[in-house]
Amino acid sequence: MRRMRVIVRLWMQLSLLALLFAAVLPAPVLAQTTTLTADQARSREEAIEIFNQGKAAFKAGDYDAAQQLFLKAWGKFDREPLIALALAKAYDRAANLEKAQIYYEAFLRLAPAEKDFAKDREQTVKRLAEVKALLASRPGVLKFQGLPSGAHLLLDDQPADPDTSGEIKVTAGTHAVRVTMEKREPFVRPAVTVGAGETKVIDVVLVAPVDSATLPHDYTLTWILGSTAAAALLTGGIFGILTLERNDAYLKRFDPQGFATADTMASYGCKLTDKDKCPQALAEGQALVNQIEFRRNAMFISLGVGAALGAATLIAAVKAPTLDKSSTAQVKPWWHDLRAYPTLDGRGGGGAAVSLAF
């Protein structure tokens, strides 16, 4: 009988010890529902031990130490829901709502929908909704770095003054920023997006305006017009020489009045008295006259075109656009592929042709 009493008393003491031990440790949810490897089980035991240290620090009011211990436990084993919940509450108490949201959501993802977790899940869902609402209502912050004294800041076309740290609180969304300053190029950011509670840093750079006289110029059009003008003038000179040559040939065969000379008449077997009746001489004279007129007209046209292109060349040189060295890809103007070249016909004449490739 006495032995039976001893056995019952020993069983009651062991049961009480087991209950106390279970109250200290978190509910071993994963150990019950998931088969862990030996390494995972060891990591979980170490995480629970560190977690209990964090609980003690939390109860003592040392929230920073508790947070670090909870983080260490989570690093050891990131599948234990109670560690995630403890981290969420620690960040929540520290007003770090962004991190609190992350671990509240981790707890709901890890904690099974069982009776043991029903109350914690209900409270977490409620608090998570409150945290999200608080985060959504938080203003964003635009932090301006490098904003010089004397600069004028426009935020959404309205004057704005940053605080001493260069910050301005704004509603979450997209904002237009413009900074102006005397003797500086404007700094413009037409669409700066900032989220609720987010701090967006804007580096303000106000550069001095560039003197166009110091920039290199694009003389492509000048070279094209100048080359075409030179070709036209050269063509006019050639036609001038050819005109003189034909005129000399004419004067050797015909007199200034347009009558064939004695040698010309003799070469065709015509009498000198029959100047107006020798068809061969008349035909030769007319051909020479036609050639002289064609070449003279071509000369005047070429010289006129050359003079006009020369004037255009001077204008293009004065109005040559500047080149932006910072740009790696220049847009080709319409005249980029303009080409000009002289032409000659079978009768000794010539001209100039222009091609434009698109």
pLDDT tens profile 200-256: 899 998 887 766 666 677 888 888 989 998 999 999 899 999 999 888 888 888 887
Which structure tokens are listed for 168? 């301005």
Task: Report the alpha-carbon distance of residue 259 to residue 277 in Å, rounded.
Answer: 11
CATH of the domain at 149: 2.60.40.1120
Task: Report the alpha-carbon distance of residue 124 to residue 131 in Å, rounded.
Answer: 10
222 and 350 belong to one structural domain:
yes
Reported confidence tier of residue 328, pLDDT bands at 50, 70, 90: very low
Across 15-29, 106-120, 214-228, 272-286, least confident range? 15-29
| pLDDT over threshold 50, residue 281 | yes
234 and 327 belong to one structural domain:
yes
CATH of the domain at 12: 1.25.40.10
Cβ–Cβ < 8 Å for 340, 229: no
Query: Among 84, 107, 137, which residue terminates a domain?
Result: 137
| pLDDT over threshold 70, residue 90 | yes
Task: Report the alpha-carbon distance of residue 273 to residue 265 in Å, rounded.
Answer: 9
86 and 8 belong to one structural domain:
yes
Query: Among 118, 137, 156, which residue terminates a domain?
Result: 137
Reported confidence tier of residue 7, pLDDT bands at 50, 70, 90: very low
74 and 199 belong to one structural domain:
no
The tally of domains found in the chain comes to 3
pTM of the model: 0.41
Q: For tokens 């039976």, name the residue.
A: 4
Residue 26 sits in which domain range?
2-137
| pLDDT over threshold 70, residue 16 | no
343 and 231 belong to one structural domain:
yes
Across 15-24, 64-73, 272-281, least confident range? 15-24
| pLDDT over threshold 70, residue 350 | no
226 and 335 belong to one structural domain:
yes
pLDDT at 206: 84
221 and 298 belong to one structural domain:
yes
Q: Please give the average per-residue pLDDT across 120-126, as a whole number.
A: 91
44 and 155 belong to one structural domain:
no
| Complete DSSP assignment for 197-248 | T-EEEEE---PPPP-GGGS-B--HHHHHHHHHHHHHHHHHHHHHHHHHHHHH
pLDDT at 112: 83
6 and 95 belong to one structural domain:
yes
244 and 265 belong to one structural domain:
yes
Q: Cβ atoms within 10 A of the Cβ of 315, count?
A: 12
Query: Among 137, 154, 178, which residue terminates a domain?
Result: 137
State the amino acid at position 87 in one-letter form.
L
Reported confidence tier of residue 154, pLDDT bands at 50, 70, 90: very high
109 and 31 belong to one structural domain:
yes
Cβ–Cβ < 8 Å for 151, 204: yes
What contacts 24+ positions apart, CB below 8 Å, involve 319-324?
320/217, 320/218, 320/219, 320/221, 320/222, 321/217, 321/218, 322/212, 322/215, 322/216, 322/217, 322/218, 323/215, 323/216, 323/217, 323/218, 324/215
145 and 87 belong to one structural domain:
no
Distances (CA, A) of 249 to 239, 253, 278, 284: 15, 7, 19, 11
